[in-house]
A and B are shown apart, each in its own frame.
Chain A
Amino acid sequence: MRRYRIRKDESCVSCLRCVRECSFGAITAGDDKSLVFHHEKCTDCQRCVSFCPAGAIYITEDENRFRRNAVFSEDDIKEIRLQAETGGVLLSSMGASGRNVPIYFDKMLLNASQVTNPSIDPLREPMETAVFLGQRPEGIERNQMGDIEDNLPPHLELKTPIMFSAMSYGAISLNVHKALASAAEKLGIYWNTGEGGLHESLYPYKEHTIVQVASGRFGVHETYLNTAAAIEIKIGQGAKPGIGGHLTGKKIIGDVSKTRMVPEGLDAISPAPHHDIYSIEDLAQLVMSIKEATHYEKPVIVKVAAVHNIAPIASGIARSGADIISIDGYRGGTGAAPKRIRDNVGIPIELAIASVDQRLREERIRDRVSVIVSGGIRNSSDAVKAIALGADAVSIGTAALCALGCHICASCHTGRCAWGLATQIPELTKRLDPEKGAELLVNLVNAWTREIKEIMGGMGINSIEALRGNRMALRGVDLNEKELEILGIRYAGE
Chain B
Amino acid sequence: MKREGEVRISSGCAISGIFCKDGKRISGEAIRKSIAVMHNRSNGLGGGFAAYGIYPQYKEYFALHIFYDSQLAREETERFLDKRFDIINLSKIPVRQTPKIADAPLIWRYFVLPLPHMLQDSQLDEDEYTSRATIMINDSITGAYVVSCGKDMGVFKAVGYPEDVADFYRIEEYEGYSWTAHGRYPTNTPGWWAGSHPFSLLDLTVVHNGEISSYDANRRAVEMYGYSCNLLTDTEVITYILDYLTRKQRLTLKESSEVIAAPFWSTIAIKDEEDRKRLSYLRKMYSSFLVTGPFSILVGFRGGMMALNDRLKLRSLVAAEKGSTVYFSSEEAAIRVIEENPDRIWAPQGGDAVIVTLEKGADV
Contacts and interface: CB of A to CB of B under 8 A. Distances in A.
Interface of A: 113, 116-118, 120, 125-126, 128, 130, 132, 136-137, 139-140, 147-148, 150, 152, 155, 361, 364, 366-367, 459-463, 465-473
A132 B268 CA distance: 15
Given A132-B284, A465-B288, A472-B216, A147 B278 contact: yes
A461 B265 contact: no
A460 B217 contact: no
B60 to A, nearest CB: 28
Interface in B57-85: none
B265 A130 contact: yes
A113 B213 contact: yes
Interface stretch (B48-56, B110-118, B124-132, B291-299): B291-299
B264 to A, nearest CB: 5
B217 A470 contact: yes
Contacts of A462: 292, 312
Contacts of A469: 216-217, 220-221, 288
A150 B293 contact: no
A460 B293 contact: yes
Nearest to B262: A463
Given A118-B314, A120-B312, A152-B281, A139 B250 contact: yes
Contacts of B265: 128, 130
B266 A126 contact: yes
Contacts of A118: 294, 314
B187 A150 contact: no
Given A148-B278, A472-B216, A117 B294 contact: yes
A460 B213 contact: yes
B292 A466 contact: yes
A140 B264 CA distance: 22
Most buried by A among B216, B250, B288, B312: B216
Given A120-B312, A463-B290, A468 B217 contact: yes
A466 B264 CA distance: 13
A128 B312 contact: no
The 5 closest A-B pairs by CB, nearest first: A466-B214, A460-B213, A472-B216, A470-B217, A117-B211
Contacts of B123: none
A137 B285 CA distance: 8
Contact of A364 (B11, B224, B277): B224
Interface string B205-229: 0000011011111101101110000
A125 B312 contact: yes
Nearest to A370: B287
B249 interface: yes
Nearest to A494: B7
B8 interface: yes
A471 B216 contact: yes
Contacts of A463: 262, 290, 292
Contacts of B348: none
B12 interface: yes
B255 interface: yes
B37 interface: no
Nearest to B7: A494
A461 B216 contact: no
Contacts, number: 104
B217 A150 contact: no
Contacts of B210: 117
Contacts of B141: none
B285 A136 contact: yes
Contact of A470 (B215, B285, B294, B312): B215
B214 A461 contact: yes
B10 interface: yes
Contact of A148 (B216, B217, B255, B294): B255
B251 interface: yes
Interface in B215-252: 215-218, 220-221, 223-225, 249-251
Contact of B224 (A139, A148, A361): A361
A461 B312 CA distance: 11
A15 B290 CA distance: 62
A466 B312 CA distance: 15
A222 B186 CA distance: 61
Given A113-B213, A466-B217, A466-B290, 5 more contacts: A361-B224, A366-B224, A460-B213, A461-B213, A469-B217
B204 to A, nearest CB: 19
B220 A361 contact: yes
Contacts of A466: 213-214, 217-218, 290-293
B208 to A, nearest CB: 13
Contacts of B223: 361
A213 B218 CA distance: 35
B281 A468 contact: no
Specify which of A125, A139, A470 lies most central, judged by the most chain B CB atoms within 10 Å of its CB: A470
B255 A459 contact: no
B10 A117 contact: yes
Interface in B113-168: none
Given A139-B250, A460-B213, A466-B214, A128 B264 contact: yes
Given A116-B12, A140-B250, A467 B217 contact: yes
B255 to A, nearest CB: 7
Contacts of A147: 274, 278
A117 B217 CA distance: 17
